């Protein structure tokens, strides 16, 4: 039974781990704007939409944007599946128009169907390097989205078929995706419009998810 549960765990996490990543920022156009409101629509294991808020913290060494995000797949039930992220992005290196930044986030995911509810805690770490101008930018990204621990709550319908099933936390780490791709966008006044696209590998760096590609169209309002 435990091996059967582990099989379900790997299968479901492959479906609901999201890799559409942190807010896309044009560092060259951010300037003194403290607030960033983001809305996005993407394709990743299905159609995914999201919203986010970022706050710029100026330091003597590096600009930092702390942010929180919520994303969910489209479907009949709006919030039976969703993902939240909280963390920040830091621009570490700037050489003329070339800039390198990194982001680190804690992740909470919820997935629910007629058999089981999964609650997962994980992490997301990425690096982005690109060419940034006030009116446009293009960059490459690579990162890793890790599911660390997952809680199973099985439905009665499932327990009726498998009475020995055990609810509770499953660890250690239960899955993850490596992702890599490109970002590009235009900026004007207080607005950014951007596109991103890329590919994913599972954590063994050999196999791919059922749908290995991701894409996103996003919008930032800065003030």
For residue 165, the 8-state DSSP code is -
Q: What structural domains does the chain harbor?
A: 2-222 (2.40.160.20)
Q: Choose the weakest-confidence range: 10-19, 111-120, 148-157, 203-212.
A: 10-19
DSSP-derived 3-state class of residue 74: coil
Q: How big is the chain by its Cα radius of gyration, in Å?
A: 19
Q: Look at the alpha carbons of 198, 190, 125, 113 in this order and tell me if their dihedral is positive or negative.
A: negative
Instruction: Region of 7 please: left (phi>0), alpha (psi -120 to 50) or beta.
Output: alpha
* Cβ atoms 92, 64 nearer than 8 A: no
**Higher-confidence residue: 141 or 74?**
141
Residue 79 pLDDT level (bands cut at 50, 70, 90): low
Q: Choose the weakest-confidence range: 23-37, 72-86, 144-158.
A: 72-86
For residue 174, the 8-state DSSP code is -
Digit-coded pLDDT (tens) for 1-11: 444 454 455 44
Query: Residue 194's beta-bridge partner residues?
Result: 185, 218
Q: What mean pLDDT is predicted for residues 140-169? A: 90
Please report the pLDDT score of residue 203 as a whole number.
83
pTM attached to this predicted model: 0.85
Does residue 172 have a cis peptide bond before it, meaning omega lies within 30 degrees of 0?
yes
């Amino acid at each position: 039974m435990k091996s059967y549960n582990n099989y379900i765990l790997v299968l479901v996490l492959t479906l609901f781990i999201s890799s559409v990543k942190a807010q896309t920022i044009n560092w060259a156009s951010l300037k003194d704007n403290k607030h960033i409101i983001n809305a996005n629509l993407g394709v990743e294991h299905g159609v995914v939409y999201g919203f986010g808020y970022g706050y710029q913290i100026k330091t003597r060494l590096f600009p930092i944007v702390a942010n929180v995000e919520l994303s969910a797949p489209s479907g009949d039930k709006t919030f039976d599946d969703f993902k939240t992220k909280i963390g920040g992005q830091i621009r570490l290196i700037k050489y003329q128009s070339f800039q390198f930044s990194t982001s680190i986030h804690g992740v909470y995911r919820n997935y629910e169907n007629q058999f089981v509810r999964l609650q997962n805690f994980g992490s997301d770490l990425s690096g982005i390097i690109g060419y940034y101008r006030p009116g446009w930018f293009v960059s490459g990204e690579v990162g890793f989205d890790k599911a660390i621990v997952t809680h199973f709550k099985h439905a009665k319908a499932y327990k009726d078929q498998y009475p020995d099933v055990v609810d509770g936390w499953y660890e250690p780490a239960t899955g993850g995706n490596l992702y890599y791709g490109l970002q590009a966008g235009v900026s004007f006044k207080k607005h950014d419009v951007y596109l991103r696209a890329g590919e994913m590998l599972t954590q063994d760096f050999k196999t791919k998810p059922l749908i290995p590609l991701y894409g996103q169209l996003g919008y930032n309002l800065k003030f």
